[in-house]
């Protein structure tokens, strides 16, 4: 590879890098926490890409020490980002991932992707199933009462 080929490749890559950075800067304005804590923005971009605005509902500052943020997703799921002084820790579904280590960061990204695939909360689904099963059992109880009265 010659110097001129390398320069051409760099010139081709630069606009795509700046485009994603500008996109994340525009989306970050909507969230106060991202403007107050620029390190948080870089972590969210690492975990959710520069299109994080499509997935986030809100960001809540939960605790001052250790600095803890609740990341609320649009599908009513959530995960936590905790800053412990040296690095960030992602807590997804109760499991902690230390984002200083690349393999753990990849596992955190996979866990976040998994909860993004969830639909409504499991509690909502269980409530509708329970009410439907109660109706069925009520009908079956009524038919058994009729059968016992005929036999007597």
pLDDT in the model for residue 5: 87
pLDDT at position 30 is 62
Average pLDDT of adjacent 10-residue blocks, the chain of 152 residues: 84 70 54 78 85 84 90 89 90 91 91 82 47 45 50 50
Task: Compute CA distances 17 → 12, 84, 150, whole Å.
Answer: 10, 29, 80
Domain boundaries, the chain: 3-119, 120-152
Neighbours of 148 (CB within 10 A): 8
CA distances from 62 to 52, 76, 99 (A): 20, 17, 19
Specify burial of residue 63 (Cβ count, 10 A radius: 0-12, 13-18, 19+): exposed
34, 59 Cβ separation under 8 angstroms:
yes
pLDDT at 25: 53
């Amino acid at each position: 590879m010659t110097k001129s080929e390398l320069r051409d490749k760099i010139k081709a890559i630069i606009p795509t890098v700046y485009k994603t950075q500008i996109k994340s800067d525009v989306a970050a304005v909507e969230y106060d926490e991202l403007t107050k804590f620029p390190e948080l923005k870089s972590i969210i971009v690492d975990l959710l890409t520069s299109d994080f605005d499509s997935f986030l509902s809100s960001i809540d500052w939960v605790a001052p020490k250790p600095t803890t943020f609740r990341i609320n997703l649009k599908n009513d799921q959530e995960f936590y980002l905790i800053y412990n002084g040296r690095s960030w820790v992602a807590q997804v579904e109760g499991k902690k991932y230390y984002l200083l280590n690349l393999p753990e960061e990849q596992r955190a990204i996979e866990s976040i992707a998994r909860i993004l695939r969830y639909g409504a909360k499991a509690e909502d689904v269980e409530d509708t199933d329970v009410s439907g099963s109660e109706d069925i059992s009520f009908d079956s109880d009524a038919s058994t009462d009729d059968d016992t009265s005929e036999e007597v």
